[in-house]
Structure 1
Amino acid sequence: MMNKEKVKGLLNNALEENSELFLIELKFLADNKIYVEVDGDTGVTLKECIRISREIEHNLDREEEDFSLEVTSPDVANSLKVKRQYTKNINRILEVKLNDNSMVQGVLTKVTESEIELKWKAREPKPIGKGKVTVNKSAIIQFENILEAKVKIIF
């Protein structure tokens, strides 16, 4: 039986060495596979993933348990999972899918304990006369109303 508490402790020690890093997900999968996803306020280097991996591996006894370990950083295509990821992405464009399946896209301008704020520009018909005018829009969205949020990568 995999000692999950020991793995968590080793992982926490490894993360504490760099205050910019934070855990996204720790999963114990079939066949003693340990999956660790970490992020950092300014991203995660391969070097840091290797350091965390070694810190866990070198303190677990392979004689006792055979295991495989994967330490990875989030894929940009994945949805944001923890609040600190939102904070890290302030001033970037987010595509947010709400619980009612509607979509909102805008620049993430603010993150609080319970909500985020997005701002964007929209073209709307002029209140008087013909033609369109560009207006600034914003939305405050509660975390509980977010189905998924992804950073929009613009090339």
Structure 2
Amino acid sequence: MSTLAQKAETYLKQAITENPQLFVVSLDVTNANHIKVVIDGDQDVSISDCMAVSRAIEHELDRDEEDFAVEVTSFGVGEKLMFPRQFIKNVGRKLDVETDKEKIKADLVSATSQAIRLTWKAREPKPVGKGKHTVDKEVELAYADIKQAKVMITFNK
């Protein structure tokens, strides 16, 4: 890790400590000294949150030592959820979840630091006779069993 990357990481940690509802999704420092930070929060992330984190990094680095650029963005809609805090934040929303065995579009009804619980309705063959009927499904998934999960965007009329 470059010296610039180490400094950026240190100052980023300090900035996040000052606002504990925020957390770092990613930090990337390119060879061209472009520092890109993606943050998320337990509630919504505002532009002022991004600006505060950017300033906290930028004001501590010395442009006389090396040229750099800092970009701080919030976690985007439709991005893959990566951390338990992101799942906890999205309880009550519909997720598109992929495991090794299946793809599930379901409601996220609970999330802990260990696992999530999903519920959904599925059409399955009737146990007796022809045709299908709707059944309620529920599953608890450990984070290790989730290949990817995204919040589904819905538009209400």
TM over 0.5: yes
Runs of 4+ that moved beyond 6 A: none
Which ranges in structure 2 are unaligned for 5 or more consecutive residues? none
> Does the aligned pair in 2 maintain the 1:96–1:149 contact within 8 Å?
yes
Query: Which runs of structure 2 are paired with 1:58-73 in the superposition (5 Å)?
Result: 58-73=59-74
Q: CA deviation at 1:129?
A: 5.5
1:24 alignment partner in structure 2: 25
Q: CA offsets per residue over residues 85-128 of structure 1, 9 Å max, x none? A: 1111111111011134x201111112233321110122334445
Matches within 5 A, 1:46-85: 46-85=47-86
Comparing 7-16 with 41-50, which one deviates more in the overlay?
7-16
Per-residue CA deviation, residues 115-151 of structure 1 (Å, 9 max, x unaligned), is 2111012233444566654321111112112111000
Equivalents in 1 of 2:107, 2:126: separation in Å? 24
Give the aligned residue type for 2:78.
Answer: A
Aligned residue pairs total 154
SS of match in other structure, 1:94: strand
Q: Over aligned residue pairs, what C-alpha RMSD do you find?
A: 1.8
AA in 2 matched with 1:97: E
TM-score (norm 1): 0.89
Counterpart secondary structure, 2:32: helix
**Take 2:99 and 2:131, find their aligned partners in 1: how far apart are those partners?**
31
Contact 2:84 / 2:114 at 8 angstroms: preserved in 1? no
Task: Provide the C-alpha distance between the structure 2 equivalents of 1:35 and 1:120, rounded to a whole number of angstroms.
Answer: 37
**What is the CA-CA distance between 1:13 and the residue it aligns to?**
1.6
| Aligned-pair identity (%) | 43
Structure 1: stretches of 5+ with no match in the other structure:
none
1:135 aligns with 2:135: yes
Give the AA of the match of 2:74.
Answer: S
Which amino acid letter does the alignment assign opposite residue 124 of structure 2? Answer: E
Distance 1:50 1:119 in 2: 38
Give the structure-2-normalised TM-score: 0.88
